[in-house]
A = this chain, B = another copy of it.
Amino acid sequence: MSPRRRPLVRRLALLGIGLIGSSVARAARRAKLAGEIVCYSRRAETRKSALKLGVVDRAYADPAEAVDGADMVVLCVHLGAYLEVGRRMAPALAKGAIVTDVGSTKQSVIRDLKPLLPKGVHLVPGHPVAGTEHSGPAAGFAELFDNRWCILTPAAKTAKPAVNKVTQLWRGMGAHVQVMDARHHDLVLAITSHLPHLIAYNIVGTAADLEQVTKSEVIKYSAGGFRDFTRIAASDPVFWRDVFLNNKDAVLEVLGRFTEDLHALQRAIRWSDGQSLESLFTRTRAIRRGIIQAGQETAAPDFGRLAAASKR
């Protein structure tokens, strides 16, 4: 590859530079996908941290300054901030610029952003299905998207070259890309991500509130299964508040089914219906095998925790 080869993106503007934004910066830099990478962050501390980590070339306190002259803009702020950041950046967007994002819901993003964008700016909503329970620019890493899926939900009439460019960006950062309808995305993610987080937050809350069991007991005996739930229940509270507020219908739909199924299980326990229990518990094993085979999960027992702990 010639060192003078033109990068895919001339100026990449990341609006928000937390776990995901800073991972995009690192992954884009790893693959030399952008000529320069700039960011916007509301907080001076975060801007300082991003500059110190060397993940961006410049950091701005104003979204308009960050997107000025950018050919690719990626919104990486919480869903609740899209409207405000969108309003502030819109007048500064260059004609032909592509606006994409990493938000966990997609219908709400289209609802919030589409009306704000000037003519000639392309909207290609995106969602990399990847993350950890940690937050902030220091938590990001270049490998976060490797072998993970990024879903794009452009409108049918979106210019193909814009969709292609966002696709190339994510492939360059190590991800697989799937295009789907925004409404379908919101339902798929409601079951594979939003409901799991809701359930995890809920059980950790229930445990904390049990007056017959002390918090110290919950902690000591958490290796029996509970600790698995605490990881995702340690995720960014504002981020997740915004997800639930912005994907209400799909979350309520899958939650209704979850509760219905749980009542059936509850009944099986009450009536000592061992056969129903065993049959469900057998069925669910296959799904994990599928996830491991698809390379979306480690096959190491206990997520490979033992190895992680012994390396400390």
Which residues on A are within 8 Å of B, measured CB to CB?
A: 80, 104, 129-134, 139, 141, 143, 148-149, 151, 178, 184, 187-189, 191-210, 212-213, 215, 217-235, 237-238, 240-242, 244-245, 248, 251-252, 254-255, 257-259, 261-262, 265-266, 268-270, 272, 274, 277-278, 280-285, 287-291, 294, 296-309, 311-312
Contact = CB atoms under 8 A, between A and B. Distances in A.
A191 B226 contact: yes
B288 A206 contact: no
A296 B148 contact: no
Given A277-B245, A306-B143, A258 B294 contact: no
A268 to B, nearest CB: 8
A305 to B, nearest CB: 5
B305 A304 contact: yes
B220 A191 contact: no
Nearest to A143: B306
* Copies of this chain present: 2
Task: Report, nearest first, the 4 A-B pairs whose CB atoms are least far apart.
Answer: A304-B308, A193-B224, A237-B281, A196-B225
A220 B133 contact: no
A180 B290 CA distance: 40
Contacts of A299: 312
Contact of A207 (B192, B197, B229, B241): B192
Contacts of A215: 287, 290
Contact of A288 (B210, B233, B255, B305): B233
B287 A178 contact: no
A292 to B, nearest CB: 9
A15 to B, nearest CB: 21
A238 B270 CA distance: 17
Nearest to A196: B225
A232 B196 CA distance: 13
A266 B244 CA distance: 10
B200 A225 contact: yes
Contact of A284 (B208, B248, B291, B308): B208
Contacts of A229: 196, 199, 228
Contacts of A259: 259, 262, 266
A133 B240 contact: no
A178 B241 contact: no
Contact of A258 (B189, B203, B224): B203
